[in-house]
Amino acid sequence: MANLKRFTGKTVIVTGGCRGIGLSIVERFANEGARVFALDYVIPESGTQLFDNEELNSLTSYLQADVTKEESVKAAIDEILKTNPKIEILVNNAGITRDNLVLRMTEADWDSVLSTNLKGAFICTKVLVRTMMAQRFGRIINIGSVVGTMGNIGQANYSASKAGLIGFTKSIAREFASRNILVNCVAPGYVRTPMTEKLSDDVKQNFMNSIPLKRLAEPSDIANVVCFFASDDASYLTGQLVHVDGGMAM
Ligand SMILES: NC(=O)c1ccc[n+]([C@@H]2O[C@H](COP(=O)([O-])OP(=O)(O)OC[C@H]3O[C@@H](n4cnc5c(N)ncnc54)[C@H](O)[C@@H]3O)[C@@H](O)[C@H]2O)c1
């Protein structure tokens, strides 16, 4: 990783930032000098310290919040605003899967996935965007998925939520462009995280067969592109979707 410090003085919120891709995004921003808050509904295994590293821990904090509940997100963001009056970057990363074939999928499985993956991004954006509008600066990066474009058997709820995020990204990119708030979507392919560890060997092998680069993504592969979108190098990009998928969805 290049030794850049592109985010010194910036405040970042990463939802679902306690593990997997979210934790890697938190780490990358902090390594580049940002003050980073991980919002998550579970308390990390390590307690409230996210890393085994004093410097990273001094730049990162964990706050408990459930992205599906506006009051919960608002309470966390109000807490952050007490010490950080500006919040420049939001990464809507929290996501869940409840996979099943449609004929076996329950309404509860449909609702919980749509609620976390799609409504959660709407709620966090709505709560934070006033602050971004007032400061006339904001970067919102939504974490989609390659299946939002390609579809996937057994993931009708999940792929619908991720396809919905693409429309959401483009709509709010248009809505907030005049306030210098840029909104983009990063859509990972198959990433090595706790979410994918629980997939069956068959499903894993099918994924591998469809990846031209013939390797899984590491969470840092996703964090690199998220940080690019948050950086000044991406200041003329909004409403864009980038697949970070080793070539799966070309
Ligand atoms: N892992 C992959 O291969 C992959 C591929 C494509 C897209 N994605 C997307 O990347 C994102 C991160 O995935 P991951 O693999 O790191 O998953 P993960 O399960 O390892 O981590 C997700 C985090 O989100 C948190 N979370 C879930 N619901 C929440 C809620 N209501 N409020 C607050 N926090 C909540 C969880 O506690 C967890 O810490 C998700 O949006 C996922 O859909 C992952």
**pLDDT tens for residues 1-13?**
557 899 999 999 9
**Averaged pLDDT of the chain:** 95
Sequence spans of domains, the chain? 11-243
Tell me if 18 CB under 6 Å of ligand 1. Answer: yes
> Which CATH code is given to the segment(s) 11-243?
3.40.50.720
- Per residue in 121-171, pLDDT (tens digit) is 999 999 999 999 999 999 999 999 999 999 999 999 999 999 999 999 999
Tell me if 50 CB under 6 Å of ligand 1. Answer: no
Q: Clarify whether 158 is annotated catalytic.
A: yes
Tell me if 211 CB under 6 Å of ligand 1. Answer: no
pLDDT beneath 70: ranges in the chain: 1-2
Tell me if 148 CB under 6 Å of ligand 1. Answer: no
Cβ atoms of 190 and 197 closer than 8 Å:
no
Atom of ligand 1 nearest to the CA of 23: 16
Tell me if 243 CB under 6 Å of ligand 1. Answer: no
Q: For position 240, what pLDDT does the model report?
A: 98
Q: For position 199, what pLDDT does the model report?
A: 79
The single-letter code of the amino acid at 115 is S
Cβ atoms of 26 and 60 closer than 8 Å:
yes
Q: For position 2, what pLDDT does the model report?
A: 55
Phi, psi of 182 (to 5 degrees): -100, 140
- Give dist(CA 156, CA 153) in Å, integer: 7
Residue nearest to atom 19 of ligand 1 (CA): 195
- Give dist(CA 35, CA 243) in Å, integer: 27
Tell me if 246 CB under 6 Å of ligand 1. Answer: no
Atom of ligand 1 nearest to the CA of 191: 3
Pocket test for ligand 1, best of 13, 14, 18, 21 (most atoms within 8 A of CB): 21
Q: For position 201, what pLDDT does the model report?
A: 87
Q: Where are the beta strands (DSSP E) in the chain?
A: 11-15, 35-40, 60-64, 89-92, 138-143, 181-188, 241-244
Ligand 1 centroid, distance to 178 Cα (angstroms): 31
Q: For position 162, what pLDDT does the model report?
A: 98
Ligand 1 centroid, distance to 236 Cα (angstroms): 28
Q: For position 1, what pLDDT does the model report?
A: 54
Q: Where are the beta strands (DSSP E) in 108-248?
A: 138-143, 181-188, 241-244
Atom of ligand 1 nearest to the CA of 117: 41
Give the pairing of strands 11-15 and 89-92: parallel
The single-letter code of the amino acid at 49 is Q
Catalytic entry in 41, 158, 190, 236? 158
Atom of ligand 1 nearest to the CA of 20: 16
Closest CA to 139 of 41, 247, 6, 244: 6
Ramachandran assignment for 246, one of left (phi > 0), alpha (psi -120 to 50 degrees), beta (any other) = left
Tell me the pTM. Answer: 0.97
